[in-house]
């Protein structure tokens, strides 16, 4: 079900911003970890990494063709994490989805009136 009122999209954005004021070391409240999008954190990675789960989201549908060099903000999915939840917007399904980080199970999905081309932010 797609939402037809612009107010619903604004409420969705507002709800995404609501969260705890303090982020833990494991949280990535914005795309690439911090407001400068450095993707740098103080913690190191574990020595042995293993895949816990995966999910096929479909190929991204960028706003502009690859032959036109314009803004490239929607050429991939941009997940953010808080606690045990992973959030991402979809330019394919026109929605924002929350997944359980431990299992990959869908917690909720909210549809909007168009592609979600920017990463959510947890505030």
pLDDT at res. 85: 94
Domains and CATH numbers, the chain: 1-21+76-123 (2.40.10.480)
Q: pTM value?
A: 0.68
Q: What is the pLDDT of residues 19-76, one digit of tens each?
A: 333 445 467 777 777 777 777 777 777 888 899 999 988 888 877 777 777 666 666 7
Q: What is the pLDDT of residues 4-19, one digit of tens each?
A: 444 444 444 444 443 3
Of 43-52, 97-106, 110-119, the least confident: 43-52
d(CA 27, CA 110): 22
Q: Where are the alpha helices (DSSP H) in 18-123?
A: none
Q: 73: which residues sit within 8 A by CB, 6+ positions away?
A: 117, 118
């Amino acid at each position: 079900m797609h939402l037809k009122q612009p107010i619903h999209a604004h409420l969705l954005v507002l709800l995404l911003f609501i969260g705890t004021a303090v982020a833990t070391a494991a949280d990535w409240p914005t795309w690439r970890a911090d407001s400068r999008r450095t993707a740098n954190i103080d913690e190191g990675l574990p020595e042995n990494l293993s895949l816990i789960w995966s999910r096929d989201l479909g190929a991204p549908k960028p706003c502009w063709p690859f032959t036109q060099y314009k803004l490239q903000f929607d050429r991939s999915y941009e997940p953010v994490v808080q606690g045990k939840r992973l959030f991402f917007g979809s330019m394919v399904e026109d929605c924002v989805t929350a997944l359980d980080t431990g299992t990959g199970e869908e917690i909720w999905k909210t549809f909007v009136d168009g592609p979600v081309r920017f990463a959510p932010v947890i505030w």
